[in-house]
Amino acid sequence: MKTTKACGSLLAGCLLVLALARVNAAENWVAYSASPTGSKVKIDGTSTLHAWTMESQLVSGKMEFEPGFKLDPSLKPGKVNARAQISMPVRQFKSTKDAMDQVMQQAMKEPQFPKIEYRLTELVLKEAPKMPEGPYPFDSKGELVIAGVTNKIAMPITLLRVSPTRVKVSGSTDLKMTDYGVTPPAPKLALGALKTGDDIKITFDWVANQRADAAKAP
């Protein structure tokens, strides 16, 4: 009886130590939070009439690197333990036409899925940067969630050290709207219908500061 009790206490103690270790490890991760200014995400598409563009500068989220991480030339090519969660309100993507914005929001089922989200799952430094501040070329893997549909995507990205505490993450990827359950909009116009193409390109610059309280957690 006594032994069982002692074993139980020991187990509880071990679990507590492990839990504390985890908390401690999380605290030691190098965290960057989105800057409220300086970011930009652009969506380029085509249509039967003309090319179109929508842009948002509201990109929140955070990116964390393993303890001891430094974005400097000491970083060796290879896998880097990192994680990120990025989020963008769909309705902040603007063309210059309010009607087109409304159409796109409906196509992306905005009321139900108000955010585009991205989760980074893997990051590999391809080669050493040419300059100490970068850009540092990485291959990334992650999950992109649009209109409630999650797809795995891989894309090359770069990290640029804008200042000792500020980084800019840049990249671009090609997507198909239909892969995310989004029907390419074909709004009726006065002179007939305009049909948008399925292929779109997303280009982004995400700026983040090494400061824990710069943004709310996504």
Partner 1 sequence: MKKNDGHQDLNRREFLSGSSLSTLMMLMGGVAIQAQDKPKEEETGATNYQTTGAPVKCGLIGCGAWGREIIKTLAVLPNAPVVAVCDTFAIGRDRAQKSAPNAAAHEDYRKVLDDKEVQAVIVATPSHLHREMVVAALQAGKHVYCEAPLAANHEDARAIAQAVQSAIKVHFQAGLQMRSDPQYLFRLQFIRSGALGKTVKARAQWQKKQSWRTYSAKEMNWRLQRATSPGLIGEIGVHQVDAAIAYINALPVAVTGFGGILRWTDDGRDVPDTVQSVLEFPGGVRLSYEATLASSFDADYEIYYGTDSTIMIRDNKAWMFKEVDAPLLGWEVYAQKDSFYKETGIALILDATKSTKAAAATGPDAAYMESPLRHALAAFVANCNSHAAAVKDFSDNFDISDTAALKEYLDTSINKVKTPHAGLREGYQATVAALKANEAILKGQKIVLQKEWFDLA
1 vs 217, beta carbon nearer partner 1: 217
69 vs 210, beta carbon nearer partner 1: 210
Strand pairing partners for 65? 30, 82
Give the binding site for partner 1 (CB under 8 A): 34, 36-37, 55-58, 60, 87, 89, 91-92, 94-96, 98-99, 102-103, 106-107, 183, 185-188, 190-193, 195, 214-216
Would you state the structure tokens that stand for residue 49, as one six-digit string?
């009439």
Q: Three-state DSSP class for 146?
A: strand
Query: What gap in Å lies between CA 188 and CA 99, rounded to an integer?
Result: 11
83 vs 115, beta carbon nearer partner 1: 115
Q: Minimum CB separation from partner 1 for residue 87, in Å?
A: 7
- Cβ atoms within 10 A of the Cβ of 148, count? 11
Q: Minimum CB separation from partner 1 for residue 135, in Å?
A: 23
Alpha carbon 141 to its chain's center = 11
Query: What gap in Å lies between CA 24 and CA 205, rounded to an integer?
Result: 31
62 vs 129, beta carbon nearer partner 1: 62
Would you state the structure tokens that stand for residue 101, as one six-digit string?
């914005």
Q: Minimum CB separation from partner 1 for residue 29, in Å?
A: 21
